[in-house]
Structure 1
């Protein structure tokens, strides 16, 4: 048995593994401008960090009376997003180091994201993370997005592991709440610093209040190896 025992790791993608939020912001801003003529600011965007694209678009459709279907809006958003993402989506260096170390140790890993399956696959391939992360699930494949636990439970099922043996890495409060609801441990790396005090992060096994600027692969590995709270 490895240093990490039965531990499996489930990773959020956007804002956790990769800094994709600027791309989602630009894609969302352009979509809303075209369909509604509304201005969309970065502060507006921060409200939707951690919420699936499907749920966000369903909300906008209702709130702004957009005539297109959610499926059509999702396809439109994905097209805009992928044009930007394929040009540049940086991987957080310490997260890449973490993934490589876990892969070398034989720790089962999966990506569970609110992005579409097409977007997840494109980002993993474009960043080279697909060499270590071959299992992934999108919120569009389960009945409910985060903060419901569905996508994390689906990831555990794909890996063939028990939820209690999983540690989730998350940047957003809805994801941390989803991990708790799934009965999984959580390492939290808030994308929005102001969200660090959100109650959803209170139960995290390890909370990097400073986000990715504070996160280190070694600190996360130490917690995974210890298998207990700090």
Structure 2
């Protein structure tokens, strides 16, 4: 079966926003004399903002309501984005290759739609992707398959006809459950994650671009 579309995760895969997200969470909880450990943040990667907030709230026994925690983190993250959005190595080469092959592509991100559109807009990608599925648009976040199923549906392509690119364990599990062929490109934070079911693992998007036709 030939894959005809690509489903991209965003944070940690297309853009190096995980450090910005972590600093935003740390800024918020620091006001309550709490810290975000490496282990705790590692468990947050790939989750929706609401789920990350609930995890932080429980683990750090914060008195701040979850909704307020989300609002403050979102505000801090938007301020951080004003400094620019760093892209992951090989992103532009891969997107050019995807489009040269006539493949449609979508973004399936745990990030809320407002923030996702802000990030993609700053990269000048609005109009290039065929669809966007965001974390606040589905009933269940990763590792449930909902985001990838929605992204494929909005592209008008069956999930089995999609190649999904992920950097996190929950994201990999979600894409596998959706029925896509999954390629993982781990970050330093996620390199020890469980990538069961992944078709292949790469060190960067640049290598994915080189092998793209074979991966389809």
1:111 corresponding residue in structure 2: 107
Q: Would the aligned equivalents of 2:34 and 2:60 in 1 still touch at CA under 8 Å?
A: no
C-alpha offsets along residues 25-57 of structure 1, whole Å, 9 cap, x if unaligned?
A: 1101011112x3112244542232112211110
**Match for 1:101 among 97, 103, 115?**
97
SS at match of 1:143: coil
The answer to whether 1:170 aligns with 2:166 is yes
Match of 2:207 in 1: 216
* 1:33 aligned residue: 30
Tell which deviates more after alignment, 81-90 or 37-46: 37-46
Name the SS of the counterpart of 2:16 in structure 1. coil
Q: 1:217 offset after TM fit, Å?
A: 3.8
**Rounded Cα–Cα distance in structure 1 between residues aligned with 2:190 and 2:6:** 26
SS in 1 for 2:172: helix
Contact 2:130–2:155 (Cα < 8 Å) also in 1: no
Residue-by-residue CA offset, 1:170-217 (whole Å, 9 max, x unaligned):
000110011111111101001136634x4x423212112xx33x8524
1:140 aligned to which of 110, 116, 136: 136
Q: 1:70 to 1:39 in 2, by over 3 A?
A: closer
Report whether the alignment pairs 1:60 with 2:51: no
Match of 2:72 in 1: 76
Q: Please report how far the alpha carbon of residue 63 of structure 1 lies from its aligned counterpart in structure 2 after TM superposition.
A: 3.6
TM-score between the two structures when normalised by the length of structure 1:
0.84
Q: Of 4, 11, 14, which residue of structure 2 is paired with 1:7?
A: 4
- Aligned to 1:137, the other structure's residue is in SS state strand
Instruction: Determine the C-alpha separation between the residues in 2 that align with 1:62 and 1:44.
Output: 11
Gaps of 5+ in 1: none
Matched, 1:204 2:161: no
Q: CA deviation at 1:100?
A: 2.0
Say which SS state the counterpart of residue 129 (structure 1) adopts: coil
Count of aligned pairs between the two proteins: 216
Kept in 2, the 8 Å contact 1:179–1:185? The answer is: yes
Asked whether 1:121 is paired with 2:112, we answer no
Which whole-Å CA distance do the structure 1 matches of 2:106 and 2:80 have between them? Answer: 24
Deviations 1:30-89 (A, max 9, x none): 11112x311224454223211221111022233444444433322221110111122122
CA distance in 2, matches of 1:185, 1:59: 30
Farther off after superposition, 132-141 or 63-72: 63-72
Taking a change above 3 Å as real, the CA distance of residues 220 and 44 of structure 1, as seen in their structure-2 partners, is: farther
